[in-house]
Amino acid sequence: MKNWIVYRLLFLACLVVSGSLYAGNPDRQGEAGASELLFNPWARSAGLHSMSTSSVMGVEAMRLNIAGLSRVAGTELLIANTRLYEGTDIQLNAVGFAKKIGENSSFGISLNSINFGDIPITTTSQPEGTGGFFSPNFFNIGLGYSYMYANKISVGILVRGVSESLTNVSAFGLAIDAGVQYVTGEDDNFKLGISLRNIGAPMKFGGEGLSYEVDNPSSSAEYKITFDARSEQFELPSVLNIGMSYDFLPTEDIIVRAVGNFTANSFSRDELGGGLEFFFKDFVVLRAAYKTEINQSTAAERNVYTGFAGGFSLYVPVKKLGNQKVGIDYAYRATDPFRGTHNFSIRLNL
């Protein structure tokens, strides 16, 4: 029974990969909206360039592979701040909560918002600014559920509400994530993960901000007529991730994890990369990764996150005896242009 399930999963992975190796479509790059759904606020997985599809667990699984949510030990609370594209003053803030329900099920909720800072208001008559400021509101909330069978196979599904708005224009949409993880090996050291993210109906902006007034075309009377401009709908940035990892156990206190991941993007080139994690006594974790685009022709067409990523985690027990821990995570991802992205996370495991 176990081997039959493994063969089915591997066969499915091969089918998906063969069908999506050329699925990346650079001609459609930039056509999708709600790109904040691709941002990763969590430092632990960001240090691996978000390539931990097979090994991610707990709160962070709600961003990469919802199947890993069921592998949370008990209760996990995670707070994060990300300085996106250093030099732009854009910040991504997130909070997540995951809770074990029974022996095999877990429930989680995550909230993410982007702080763009104060942007000067300009008009055609006052291009230098009116003296006022505005700030867009980009916010999304996700509710996820995951189930684990026999500590080997876990599946999950997540529904996310996406909101983008100004004072007089807004758009709202729903996105669905689904994923599966499989763990095997003598010491559960081989992991396979597949996730499909950001599947949903197109979004569309609407509101009073799209209305405008024109003079009455008839010369018989002078008055204004209000028209509503039609807004073009936009697709969500759907993504398929397929990842594998293997844990090397040189000693009882050290684990070295090798990670590989393939990403099929619907609106840009596909990506391929790998990384390493070094665990020491569940107290210190070091990680580094490298990711590149497939069929990249020129440096000017390169994804902003193509290249190096790295980070570390420190875990401090709350009590001498018990599993309660406080963790501090940091990640740096090189960007071109800008001066990189910095992720900071604080986690509490109960």
pLDDT at site 48: 96
Q: With contact defined as beta carbons under 8 Å apart, do 68 and 57 qualify?
A: yes
What is the pLDDT, as a whole number, of residue 214?
81
Q: How far is CA 168 from CA 112, 137, 214, in A?
A: 22, 11, 19
Give the Cα separation of 317 and 238 in Å (integer). 38
Residue segments in the chain with a per-residue pLDDT below the cut of 50: 1-2, 4, 6-7, 10-11, 14-23
C-beta of residue 174 within 8 angstroms of C-beta of residue 160: yes
Q: How many CA atoms lie within 13 A of 148 on its CB side?
A: 24
Cα–Cα–Cα angle for 291, 192, 156, nearest 5°?
A: 105
Dihedral (CA of 10, 16, 19, 21) sign: negative
Inter-residue contact 57 to 67 (CB < 8 Å): no
* 2-349 CATH choice from 3.40.1280.10, 3.30.70.270, 2.40.160.40, 3.40.50.1950: 2.40.160.40
At residue 198, the pLDDT reads: 94
pLDDT score for 6: 47
**Per-residue pLDDT tens for 84-140?**
998 888 999 999 999 999 889 999 999 999 999 888 988 888 888 888 888 899 999
Look at residue 131 in the predicted model and tell me its pLDDT. 87
Task: Let me know how long the chain is.
Answer: 350
Segments making up each domain of the chain, as ranges: 2-349
Q: Render 106-172 in DSSP notation, one character per residue.
A: EEEEEEEEEE---EE---SS-TT--S-EE--EEEEEEEEEEEEETTTEEEEEEEEEEEEE-SS-EEE
Predicted local distance difference test score (pLDDT) of residue 175:
96
